[in-house]
């Protein structure tokens, strides 16, 4: 008995490879959104671009990756098999990026390829990508399907939908509402500030971080020079959790006049990103910019921003 070509062992293996690769792409895209702020930080900290540009690029990558994943799962490769070649190109780009991280930061670095869900060092990330590249090459060599014109167009629609999705449904905000739902407020003598209204400079700090103390001391000096500067410190935990360390922090930095909020560690990590101090310039809940080097902060720059239209 002759097995029809479309049901042959080689075709079954072909479909398994395509579906497996598609599922890996989908999972990779999904994992980068939990939370998306960490993936944005990963791009922002490694490229000389603005925070808004990093946010746009992160969303495009996630959407494109998810769209390619769906096309691989349903076996729709488009005219000239552009889907397979796009997958190959994306994997090559990712691998080159990981190799740069490996060279610059060593094998202990986290490339962020699978977000926070799966931690992979550069070596394992490169191995994973090489295996995936081998799978793509097999698909390119073995694919002999004839696509119809309607399927050509359909192959473009799916990526467009998925590229749009993270721009529409994945928040481009700092998550202030989530923070306020659980904020532990140490309001000092002034009334609590609603970060959702107006412009604010929000600095995520650690009480034990030496760089945070330097940044806090600089903010204190700038606040003395410009009392209207809308700066707020965010710490993890509760105000009464580490009273001695907090007292020492405020004494060393002379920043007792600056308002501060305390939030749970899990939300602090999600909002602050990978490192502290993490300083955002907010207009309402929208991130307008991020200060990547506190040593370069100036009263003039911040004043021009918060007093601007």
Mark whether 144 and 194 lie in a shared domain.
no
Mark whether 237 and 162 lie in a shared domain.
no
Mark whether 69 and 215 lie in a shared domain.
no
pLDDT digits (tens, 9 = 90+) for 172-214: 555 555 555 444 445 444 556 677 778 889 999 988 888 999 9
* Total domains in the fold of the chain: 2
Predicted local confidence at residue 2, as pLDDT: 47
Last residue of a domain, one of 123, 143, 169: 169
**Domain span holding position 16:** 5-169
Mark whether 116 and 67 lie in a shared domain.
yes
Mark whether 74 and 220 lie in a shared domain.
no
Mark whether 18 and 164 lie in a shared domain.
yes
Comparing CA positions, the residue from 215, 288, 285 lying closest to residue 255 is 215
CB contact at 8 A, 215 and 205: yes
Predicted local confidence at residue 160, as pLDDT: 75
Last residue of a domain, one of 143, 169, 195: 169
pLDDT tens, N- to C-terminus, the chain (309 residues): 444 555 688 888 999 999 999 999 999 998 888 777 778 877 877 777 777 788 888 888 988 999 999 999 998 888 778 899 999 999 999 999 899 888 888 888 777 777 767 778 889 999 999 999 999 999 999 887 665 565 666 667 777 777 777 665 555 555 555 555 444 445 444 556 677 778 889 999 988 888 999 999 999 999 999 988 999 999 888 777 788 888 999 999 999 889 888 888 777 877 787 678 888 888 877 778 888 788 888 888 888 888 875
Distance CA 243, CA 62 (A): 42
CB contact at 8 A, 255 and 217: yes
C-beta atoms surrounding 33 within 10 Å? 21
Distance CA 80, CA 146 (A): 10
Rounded to the nearest 10 degrees, the angle between the axes of helix 265-272 and helix 36-46 is 40
What distance lies between CA 92 and its chain's CA centroid? 20
Mark whether 105 and 53 lie in a shared domain.
yes
Predicted local confidence at residue 188, as pLDDT: 46
Reported pTM: 0.64
Predicted local confidence at residue 5, as pLDDT: 54
Predicted local confidence at residue 181, as pLDDT: 46
Last residue of a domain, one of 169, 199, 229: 169
Distance CA 42, CA 86 (A): 22
Distance CA 263, CA 241 (A): 12
Predicted local confidence at residue 179, as pLDDT: 54
Label each residue of the chain as H, E or C: CCCCHHHCHHHHHHHHHHHHHHHHHHHHHHHCCCCHHHHHHHHHHHCCCCHHHHHHHHHHHHHHHHHHHHHHHHCCCCHHHHHHHHHHHHHHHHHHHHHHHHHHHCCCCCCCCCCCCCCCCHHHHHHHHHHHHHHHHHHHHHCCCCCCHHHHHHHHHHHHHHHHHHHHHCCCECCHHHHHCCCEEECCCCCCCCCCCCEEEEEECCCCCHHHHHHHHHHHHHHHHCCCCCEEEEEECCCCCCHHHHHHHHHHHCCCCCEEEEECHHHHHHHHCCCCCEEEEEECCEEEEEECCHHHCCHHHHHHHHHCC
């Amino acid at each position: 008995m002759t097995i029809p070509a479309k049901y042959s062992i080689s075709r079954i293996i072909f479909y398994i490879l395509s579906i497996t690769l598609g599922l890996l792409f989908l999972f990779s895209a999904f994992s980068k959104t939990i939370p998306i702020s960490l993936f944005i930080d990963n791009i922002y900290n490694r490229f000389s671009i603005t925070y808004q540009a990093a946010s746009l690029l992160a969303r495009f990558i996630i959407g494109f990756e998810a769209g390619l994943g769906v096309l691989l799962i349903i076996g729709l490769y488009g005219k000239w098999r552009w889907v397979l070649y796009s997958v190959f190109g994306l994997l090559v780009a990712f691998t080159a990026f990981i190799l740069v991280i490996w060279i610059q930061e060593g094998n202990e670095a986290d490339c962020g390829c699978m977000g926070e869900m799966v931690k992979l060092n550069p070596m394992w990330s490169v191995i994973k990508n090489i295996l995936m590249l081998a799978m793509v090459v097999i698909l390119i060599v073995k694919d002999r399907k004839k696509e119809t014109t309607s399927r050509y167009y359909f192959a473009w629609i799916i990526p467009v939908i998925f590229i749009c999705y993270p721009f529409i449904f994945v928040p481009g905000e700092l998550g202030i509402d989530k923070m306020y739902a659980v904020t532990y407020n140490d309001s000092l003598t002034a009334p609590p500030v609603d970060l959702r209204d107006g412009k604010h400079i929000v600095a995520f700090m650690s009480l034990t971080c030496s760089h945070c103390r330097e940044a806090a001391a600089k903010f204190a000096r700038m606040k003395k020079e410009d009392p209207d500067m809308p700066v707020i410190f965010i710490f993890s935990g509760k105000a009464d959790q580490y009273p001695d360390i907090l007292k020492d922090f405020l004494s060393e930095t002379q920043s007792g006049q600056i308002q501060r909020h305390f939030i749970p560690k899990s939300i602090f990590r999600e909002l602050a990103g990978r490192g502290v101090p993490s300083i955002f310039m907010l207009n309402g809940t929208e991130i307008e910019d991020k200060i990547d080097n506190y040593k370069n902060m100036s009263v003039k720059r911040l004043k021009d921003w918060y007093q601007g239209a």
